[in-house]
Amino acid sequence: MTRVAILGAGIGGEHLTAYRALPDHFSVALLVDQDSARAEALRAGDGYRTETDISKALANPQIDLIDICLPPHLHVPVTLQALEAGKHVICEKPLATSLRDAHQIRDAASRTGRDVFPVFQYRWGPALATLRSLIREGSRRQASGRID
């Protein structure tokens, strides 16, 4: 059982719904939002506690996984803090907006031995389908010796 703290009660509410659907795997123990009424409003018989201070989740030894659903500017710093606190991380998109930040997160995950799962649910959308088709087309051209 993975014990989760969700940070942010906007899209965090959708994550909560997903965890509720997997009760054998995940238990949401904490929901953090500086707007405590927003965090409370999501409760539907759940046993989670609410906090307004992110550091409470990071310092809590009962938490295995920090699920970051905060505004984008907090993604990199809170991901790094969570890894340093020994937590696994799920982070809403964008995980980072520069290669430098992405590499810093990769290095911190490697050093702490924790996993980072960036949310990215557009694998099958039109943009990536187009990209995949261009890559396939490029491979076919390479294989046939044609260079355009």
Ligand X SMILES: NC(=O)c1ccc[n+]([C@@H]2O[C@H](COP(=O)([O-])OP(=O)(O)OC[C@H]3O[C@@H](n4cnc5c(N)ncnc54)[C@H](O)[C@@H]3O)[C@@H](O)[C@H]2O)c1
Give the interface segment with ligand X, choosing from 28-36, 58-66, 123-131, 132-140 (CB under 6 A): 28-36
Q: Under the criterion CB under 6 A, does residue 43 sit at the interface with ligand X? A: no
Q: What share of the chain is helix, strand, coil (3-state, %, to 5)?
A: 45, 20, 40
Q: How far is the CB of 21 from ligand X (least distance, A)?
A: 17
Give the interface segment with ligand X, choosing from 41-49, 63-71, 81-89, 130-138 (CB under 6 A): 63-71
Give the interface segment with ligand X, choosing from 70-78, 100-108, 127-135, 140-148 (CB under 6 A): 70-78
**Is the separation of the CB atoms in 30 and 63 below 8 Å?**
yes
Q: Which amino acid is at 30?
A: L
